[in-house]
Structure 1
Amino acid sequence: MSKPERVHYRGGRIFTADEPAWAESMVVRGESIEFVGDTTTADGMAGDARLVDLGGAFVLPGFVDAHTHLLGMGEALRQVDLFDAADVAEIQSKVRGAADADLGAPRVLGRSWLFGALDGRSPERGMIDAAVPDRPVYLFANDLHSTWVNSAALRELGITADTPDPIGGRIGRDEAGEPDGMLYEAAALQLVRRFLDAEAGDDERDTALASAFERYLSDGVTGAVDMGLGQDDLDALERALARGGGRLPLRVAGHWLVERTGRTEDDLRQVRRAVELAGRLSGPWLRVTGIKLLVDGVIDSCTAAMKAPFADGSHPGPIWDLAALSPVVAAADAAGLQVALHAIGDEASDIALSALEHAIEVNGPRDRRHRLEHVEVVTEENVRRLARLGVVASMQPVHADPAIQDNWRAMLGDDRVRRGYPWPELTAAGAVLAFGSDAPTAPHPPLPNMYIATTRRSASDPGLPPNIPEFALPMADALAHGTRHAAYSCRWEGLTGRLAPGLAADFVVLDRDPFAEGPGSLLRAEVRQTVVAGADQLLRR
Structure 2
Amino acid sequence: MSSPTTLFRNASVFTGEASVPMREAFAVRDGLIVAAGDLDAVRLAAGEGAEEIDLGGALVTPGVTEGHSHMLMLGEALSKVQLRDAKSVSEVQERLAARRAAEPDAPRVLGVSWMFDIFGPGEHPTAAMLDAAVADVPVILDANDLHSAWVNTAALEAMGITRDTPDPVGGEIVRDENGDATGFLLETAAVKYGWGYLDSVATDADRDGFLQAAFDAYLETGVTAATEMSFGDAELGAYRRLLDRDGRLPFPVNAHWLLTASGDLETDLAEVAKVARIRDEVSAAYGDRWLRIAGVKFILDGVIDACTATMRAPYKNGAMPGPIWEREFALPVAVAADAAGLELALHAIGDEASTIALDMVQECIRVNGPRADRRARVEHLEYVADDTIARMAALGVTASMQPVHCDPAVLDNWQAVLGDERAVNGFPWHKFRESGVALALGTDAPTGPHEAPNNLFIALTAKSALDRARAPYNPERVFSPEQALEAFTLGPAWATGRDSEFGRIASGYRATFVVWDANPITDDPATLLDKSAALTVVDGAEAFRLQR
TM-score by length of 1: 0.98
Deviation (angstroms), 1:160: 1.5
Show the counterpart of 2:363: 358
* Shift, 1:524, TM fit: 5.4
CA distance in 2, matches of 1:163, 1:41: 69
Contact in 2 for aligned 1:312/1:411 (Cα 8 Å): yes
For the 8 Å contact 1:214–1:539, the answer to whether it is kept is no
Residue 311 of structure 2, aligned match among 306, 315, 318: 306
* 1:421 has 2:427 as partner: yes
| Deviation for aligned residue 1:207 | 0.8
Task: Map 1:94-109; keep pairs closer than 5 Å.
Answer: 94-109=95-110
Residue 439 (1) aligns with residue 438 (2): no
Is 1:462 matched up with 2:468?
A: yes
Match of 1:13 in 2: 12
Letter in 2 for 1:330: V
Report what 1:133 is aligned to: 135
Residue 264 of structure 2: aligned partner:
263
1:286 aligns with 2:291: yes
Q: 1:230–1:514: structure 2 CA closer, same or farther, 3 Å change rule?
A: same
Distance between the aligned counterparts of 1:308 and 1:404, measured in 2? 23
> In 2, are the aligned partners of 1:349 and 1:382 still within 8 Å (CA)?
yes
The alignment partner of 1:33 has SS state of: strand
Distance in structure 2 (CA, Å) of the matches to 1:529 and 1:320: 43
Matches within 5 A, 1:65-464: 65-120=66-121, 121-245=123-247, 247-282=248-283, 283-367=288-372, 368-464=374-470
Distance in 2 (CA, whole Å) between partners of 1:24 and 1:167 is: 55
The 8 Å contact of residues 220 and 532 in structure 2, kept in 1 or not, is answered as: no
Deviations 1:181-231 (A, max 9, x none): 100000001221111101000001101111111111111000000012011
Residue in structure 1 matched with residue 22 of structure 2 by the alignment: 22
Within 5 Å, give how 1:461-540 maps onto structure 2: 461-523=467-529, 525-538=531-544
Q: Secondary structure at the match of 1:60?
A: strand
Instruction: Check if 1:41 corresponds to 2:47.
Output: no
SS in 2 for 1:492: coil
Contact 1:228 1:291 in 2 (8 A): no
Unaligned runs of 5+ in 2: none
Cα distance between partner residues in 1 of 2:443 and 2:518: 22
In 2, the alpha carbon distance for the partners of 1:286 and 1:219 equals 21
Please say which of residues 292-301 and 269-278 is displaced more in the overlay.
269-278
**Deviations along 1:492-528, whole A, 9 cap, x unmatched?**
1100011111111010012332211121122154411
Range 335-344 or range 275-284, more displaced: 275-284
Match for 1:328: what amino acid? V
- Aligned residue type for 1:40: D
Matched position secondary structure for 1:517: coil
Q: Which amino acid aligns with 1:310?
A: Y
Whole-angstrom CA distance in 2 between matches of 1:474 and 1:119 = 39
State which drifts further: 441-450 or 236-245: 236-245
Name segments (4+ residues, structure 1) moved above 4 Å.
none
What is the deviation of 1:280?
2.9
Partner secondary structure for residue 250 of structure 1: coil
Whole-angstrom distance in 2 between the partners of 1:436 and 1:524: 17
Deviations 1:126-146, CA, capped at 9 Å, x for gaps: 111111111111011001100
Specify the SS of the correspondent of 2:74: helix
Paired residue secondary structure (1:279): helix
Deviation at 1:539, TM superposition (A): 6.0
Q: Secondary structure at the match of 1:196?
A: helix
Structure 1 unmatched ranges of 5 or more: none
> Does the 8 A contact of 2:34 with 2:45 survive in 1?
no
Asked whether the equivalents of residues 6 and 28 of structure 2 are also in contact (C-alpha less than 8 Å), the reply is yes
TM-score with structure 2 length normalisation? 0.97
- 1:73 shift after superposition: 0.3
The structural deviation recorded for 1:412 is 0.8
Amino acid at match of 1:100: A
Q: Give identity over the alignment, percent.
A: 46
Amino acid paired to 1:28 = V
How far did residue 472 of structure 1 move? 1.1
1:433·1:481 contact (CA, 8 Å) conserved in 2?
Answer: yes
- How far did residue 540 of structure 1 move? 5.3
Separation in structure 2 between the aligned mates of residue 310 and residue 171 of structure 1, nearest angstrom: 21
Q: Which moved more, 1:509-518 or 1:354-363?
A: 509-518
Does the 8 Å CA contact 1:16/1:498 hold for their aligned counterparts? yes
Q: Deviations over 1:393-440 (max 9, x none)?
A: 101000010000000001111111233111111121111010011001
d(CA) in 1 for partners of 2:460, 2:144: 23
List per-residue Cα deviations over 1:261-280 (Å, max 9, x = no partner): 11111101111122112223
Q: Residue 14 of structure 1 contacts residue 25 of structure 1 at CA under 8 Å; is this kept in 2?
A: yes
Aligned counterparts of 2:290 and 2:297: Cα–Cα separation in 1: 20
- Please give the secondary structure, in 2, of the residue aligned with 1:299: coil
Number of equivalences = 539
Code of the aligned partner of 1:386:
M
CA distance in 1, matches of 2:246, 2:109: 33
- 8 Å CA contact retained: 1:290, 1:338: yes
Structure 2 Cα separation of the partners of residues 476 and 303 of structure 1 = 35
Alignment deviations for residues 219-245 of structure 1 (CA, whole Å, 9 cap, x no partner): 100000001201111110111112222
RMSD in angstroms over aligned alpha carbons? 1.2
Greater Cα offset, 300-309 or 2-11: 2-11
1:45, 1:392 → 2: CA distance? 36
Q: What is the CA-CA distance between 1:34 and the residue it aligns to?
A: 0.7
